[in-house]
Amino acid sequence: MSVSIPENKKISPFLVFFVVQKMQFGIGILGFQRIIAKTAGYDAWISIILAGIAVHIVLWALFKMLETVNGDMISIHTFVFGKIVSKIFGLFFILYYLLLTVTVIRTYVEIVQVWMFTDLTTFWFSLIFLIVVVYIIFGGFRTVTGMAFFGIVLPFYVLALFLFTLPYAEFDNLLPILDHSISDILLGSKNMSLTVLGFESLLIFYPFIKDQKKSKKWAHLAVFSTTMIYVYLAILTFAYFPENQLQKNIWPTLTMWKIIMMPFVERFEYIGIANWCLIILPNASIALWCSSRIAKRLFSIKQRTTVPILAFICLIATSLLFTRKQVNLLSDLVGQIGFYLNFFYFPLLLVATLIAKKVKKNEVGS
């Protein structure tokens, strides 16, 4: 049942922090403020905290499952449902991670097209981008983790740049607190799902962690830090925009940068967006790696063969999305799937795992 990974391919437990945080922090952050404020208004920062707490609970559930079977997601499914059903679920997860990769790349290309170069072709950019991604994945999971590390450390200064909005911030906008009903706020939390998802990739890379018990606190710390970043950004955004103006902006995070004026660079967004490439590169790499890793577990095909094939599928899918509407539909879809997967399916799976464990124990006992 358990999966053995050679010691030299494993990562230190504290690196889990970077992988988990990286998967959460990516594309969603560019526009989540508007989506959560749609229902929860400017009480939406409470929604973020609630969503964060929910993620902590689910993360706990994931660790519990993984510890029970001492393997990865496929082992859990085999343990609970048997071999054939686990293969079907595996296929679904391959698709899910492919979809995630496509969303990340396509959303980024859209931003470049709208903000910088209108005539950038999706295909060529995705091709180059995916070549880099494939190259990273060829280096193994350790290289992917390394990229995640740099994807956080190098562009970290970006967060400080939002403080440029402070002279225009009216924190009164947030008052009165709790002006919305609890159900509205919870709906806001649900709309956070696209932004917080990604931490479930733990289910796939768990066997690659060296001292798995120690990694727990790092994973939780990662979730906590992303939640804090989201709250920080949401509060700054809500203070900067009146509610009606926020609803007009598709990427409030980028619009906030428009206020930055520096003598040596007229429009800061250009630097920021170019930098965002570094932020999403590890995201796409981890997602695609997960996809190919599941394929390997299911069919025992080498990742070296599956990765280029999967990347090619991504390339075609990315190039086939043309309009804002389609891109929006895709991210909504991923958000929905992520929501039901993380907050319904995985807790249920935990219950099933625990029952299966009991039953199997009894069988052995009798």
Task: Tell me if 8 contacts another protein by CB under 8 A.
Answer: no
Closest distance between another protein and the C-beta of residue 48, in Å?
A: 20
| Residue 270 near residue 258, CB atoms below 8 Å | no
Task: Tell me if 302 contacts another protein by CB under 8 A.
Answer: no
Q: Position 225: which residue type?
A: S
Spatial distance between the Cα atoms of 215 and 151, rounded to a whole number of angstroms: 20
Spatial distance between the Cα atoms of 130 and 311, rounded to a whole number of angstroms: 6
β partners of residue 265:
262
Q: Which two tokens stand for residue 59?
A: 């993360």
Closest distance between another protein and the C-beta of residue 295, in Å?
A: 23
> Which residue, 45 or 240, has its beta carbon nearer to another protein?
240
Q: DSSP code of 11?
A: B
Closest distance between another protein and the C-beta of residue 103, in Å?
A: 21
Task: Tell me if 352 contacts another protein by CB under 8 A.
Answer: no
Residue indicated by tokens 């989201």: 230
| Residue 334 near residue 58, CB atoms below 8 Å | no
Q: DSSP code of 250?
A: S
Task: Tell me if 117 contacts another protein by CB under 8 A.
Answer: yes
Closest distance between another protein and the C-beta of residue 136, in Å?
A: 13
Spatial distance between the Cα atoms of 3 and 117, rounded to a whole number of angstroms: 46
Task: Tell me if 82 contacts another protein by CB under 8 A.
Answer: no
Closest distance between another protein and the C-beta of residue 50, in Å?
A: 21
Task: Tell me if 124 contacts another protein by CB under 8 A.
Answer: yes
Task: Tell me if 255 contacts another protein by CB under 8 A.
Answer: yes
Closest distance between another protein and the C-beta of residue 127, in Å?
A: 7
Binding residue for another protein (CB under 8 A) from 2, 157, 172, 264?
A: 172
Task: Tell me if 183 contacts another protein by CB under 8 A.
Answer: no
Q: Position 294: which residue type?
A: I
Binding residue for another protein (CB under 8 A) from 38, 267, 296, 357?
A: 267
> Which residue, 9 or 248, has its beta carbon nearer to another protein?
248
Task: Tell me if 230 contacts another protein by CB under 8 A.
Answer: no
Closest distance between another protein and the C-beta of residue 188, in Å?
A: 18
| Residue 103 near residue 27, CB atoms below 8 Å | yes
C-alpha distances in angstroms, 16 versus 13, 126, 207, 273?
6, 28, 12, 26
Half-sphere exposure of 152 (CA within 13 A, CB side): 20
> Which residue, 244 or 300, has its beta carbon nearer to another protein?
244
Q: Which two tokens stand for residue 229?
A: 């970043």
Spatial distance between the Cα atoms of 157 and 214, rounded to a whole number of angstroms: 29
Helix (H/G/I), strand (E/B), else coil: 262: strand
Task: Tell me if 142 contacts another protein by CB under 8 A.
Answer: no
Binding residue for another protein (CB under 8 A) from 2, 4, 6, 119?
A: 119
Spatial distance between the Cα atoms of 200 and 20, rounded to a whole number of angstroms: 8
Helix (H/G/I), strand (E/B), else coil: 357: helix
Closest distance between another protein and the C-beta of residue 146, in Å?
A: 17
Closest distance between another protein and the C-beta of residue 78, in Å?
A: 36
| Residue 228 near residue 27, CB atoms below 8 Å | no
Binding residue for another protein (CB under 8 A) from 154, 214, 242, 344?
A: 242
Helix (H/G/I), strand (E/B), else coil: 300: coil
> Which residue, 127 or 354, has its beta carbon nearer to another protein?
127
Task: Tell me if 277 contacts another protein by CB under 8 A.
Answer: no
Task: Tell me if 84 contacts another protein by CB under 8 A.
Answer: no
Q: What are phi and psi of 31, to 5 degrees?
A: -140, 10
Task: Tell me if 323 contacts another protein by CB under 8 A.
Answer: no
Q: Work out the burial of residue 266: count CB atoms within 10 Å of its CB; fewer than 13 is exposed, 13-18 middle, 19 or more buried.
A: exposed
Task: Tell me if 264 contacts another protein by CB under 8 A.
Answer: no
Q: Which residues bind another protein (CB under 8 A)?
A: 114-117, 119-121, 124-125, 127-128, 131, 167-168, 170, 172-173, 175-176, 179, 240-245, 248, 255, 258-259, 261, 266-267, 269
